[in-house]
């Protein structure tokens, strides 16, 4: 976990799953697996979150909620789809009310397989997502640097004229 520079905060949402994966997500936070020792905290507020852990195949009523949560999270952010039904709709694929996977609604970065996904797998997925998050953060700070330099150059050019 050497690259884990900051403590990423997690937002968890159940988008029409059977809640098997959801209790495994919670199990990650409790003593046996305890991701809090890495500074990973489950937050209830999307504005505080870096990582969106989301389960289930998304039904029609949940679609705007998922979108809303994703849009409320500040950049940089990553999305982890936990479980088989979050990836493809899984066993609920043929149900009339299921959209069929998180990636039909919002962009997904990491897929965690399993029905229900095991806590070890979920932690593995989070670790993978963190490297993506770090990349994005670097790119964002890089872009900000370029913009800042351009502004600086423009200001200098103005002065010399």
Partner 1 sequence: MPKRIVVPFGPQHPVLPEPIHLDLVLEDEKVVDVIPSIGYIHRGLEQLVQKREYPEYVYVAERICGICSFMHALCYCQGIEHIMEIEVPDRARYLRTIWSELSRLHSHLLWLGLFADSMGFENLFMRAWQLRESVLDISEDTSGGRIIQSTCKVGGVRRDIEQGKLEEIHRVMDTFEEKCRGLGNVFLNDETVKYRLQGLGVISKDEAYTLGSAGPTLRGSGVAIDHRETGYAAYGDLGFKPVVETAGDCYARCAVRVRELYSSIDLIRRAIEEMPEGGIDVKVKGAPNGEYFSRVEQPRGEVVHYLLGDGTKHLVRARIRTPTLANVPALVKMLPGAQLADVPVVVLSIDPCISCTER
The residue among 45 and 141 lying less far from partner 1, judged by its C-beta, is 45
The residue among 4 and 95 lying less far from partner 1, judged by its C-beta, is 95
Q: In what order do the strands lie in the sheet with 78-82?
A: 41-43, 9-14, 51-55, 78-82, 110-112
The residue among 57 and 101 lying less far from partner 1, judged by its C-beta, is 57
Which listed residue (8, 10, 22, 79) binds partner 1 by CB under 8 A? 22
Burial 129-161 (b: 16+ CB within 10 A, else e): bbebbbebeeeeeeeeeeeeeeeeeeeeeeeee
Assess 18 for contact with partner 1 (CB under 8 A).
Answer: yes
Instruction: Give the pairing of strands 9-14 and 51-55.
Output: parallel
Distance CA 114, CA 31 (A): 22
Mark the segment that binds partner 1 (CB under 8 A) among 73-81, 92-100, 125-133, 142-150: 92-100
Which listed residue (7, 39, 65, 107) binds partner 1 by CB under 8 A? 65
| Residues forming the site for partner 1 (CB under 8 A) | 12-14, 16-24, 26-27, 30-32, 43-46, 56-57, 59, 61-62, 65, 69, 91-92, 94-98, 115-116, 118
């Amino acid at each position: 976990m050497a690259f884990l520079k900051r403590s990423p905060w997690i937002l968890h949402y159940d988008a029409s799953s059977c809640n098997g994966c959801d209790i495994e997500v919670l199990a990650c936070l409790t003593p046996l697996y305890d991701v809090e020792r890495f500074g990973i905290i489950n937050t209830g507020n999307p504005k505080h979150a870096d990582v969106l852990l989301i389960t289930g195949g998304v039904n029609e009523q949940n679609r705007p909620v998922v979108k809303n949560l994703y849009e409320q999270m500040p950049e940089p952010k990553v999305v982890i789809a936990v479980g088989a039904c979050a990836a493809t709709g899984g066993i609920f694929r043929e149900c009339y009310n299921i959209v069929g996977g998180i990636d039909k609604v919002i962009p997904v970065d990491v897929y965690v397989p399993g029905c229900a996904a095991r806590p070890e797998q979920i932690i593995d997925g989070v670790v993978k997502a963190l490297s993506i998050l770090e990349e994005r953060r670097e790119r964002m700070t890089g872009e900000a640097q370029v913009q800042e330099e351009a502004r600086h150059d423009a200001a200098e050019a103005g002065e010399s004229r």
